[in-house]
Chain A
Amino acid sequence: QAQLVESGGGSVKPGGSLRLSCEGSGIPFSDDYMTWIRQVPGEGLRWISYISSTGRYTNHADSVKGRFTISRDNAKNSMFLHMNSLRVEDSGVYFCTRGRNHAFDLWGQGIPVIVSS
């Protein structure tokens, strides 16, 4: 059964750091690009970060550039989001997704991140 499972979320003070992990199973993990997408409860979705299938290419939304870094370890079927200098507005539920055909066809269950003093 194809699935993505996120971990590593939690509560942190402004200026702090967190590392989110996403582990894939039941899928050819190294075949596809991956992204992180954030949702603030009661609000919409926002694309945060992209990483190519090999990890060679990455991109981040302007709001997190210079603070967040996406990476992956295909040997471990895992993807990561390193979040530094966290701000209150970074709070939300973070979804790990698989990308195909410029859409997101497989989603994790989501992991909450709370940035609060």
Chain B
Amino acid sequence: QSVLTQPPSASGSPGQSVTISCTGSTSDIGRFDLVSWYQQFPGKAPRLIIYEVNKRPSGVPDRFSGSKSDRTASLTVSGLRAEDEADFYCSSYAGYNLWVFGGGTKLTVL
């Protein structure tokens, strides 16, 4: 069982926006602004798309955005495209050189 809680699935039509939540505790998300998000396609390694709650690595489209409120972080994908269909995972630093992950959300573009 994962430490962070994500919905198992999310969906939206092309052009729409979809938001994926990630709920933790006062020991991880609630304590640190160090939430990251990863996109994973079948058979591939995860790819970092958001770090430090809302920062995007070079090359990640600005259609991907992150936010945090209290113990819950969120990833929003705007202007959905077919190629966005993938699994998304959240992660948080939890202190003492330890990290926790969510169970993953499968995003379907209808």
Which residues of chain A have a CB within 8 Å of any CB of chain B?
33, 35, 37, 43-47, 50, 52, 57-59, 61, 95, 100-105, 107-110
Contacts and interface: CB of A to CB of B under 8 A. Distances in A.
A45 B47 contact: no
Contact of A45 (B46, B93, B97): B46
Contact of A35 (B38, B47, B99, B102): B99
B105 to A, nearest CB: 10
Contacts of B97: 33, 50, 52, 57-59
B81 to A, nearest CB: 23
B101 A45 contact: yes
B51 A105 contact: yes
B24 interface: no
Interface in B5-39: 32, 34, 36, 38
Contacts of A35: 99
26 contacts: A43-B103, A44-B101, A44-B104, A45-B38, A45-B91, A46-B101, A47-B91, A47-B99, A50-B99, A57-B97, A59-B96, A61-B98, A95-B46, A101-B52, A102-B32, A102-B93, A102-B99, A103-B34, A103-B36, A103-B91, A104-B46, A104-B48, A105-B51, A107-B46, A107-B47, A108-B45
A74 B39 CA distance: 29
B26 to A, nearest CB: 17
B52 A109 contact: no
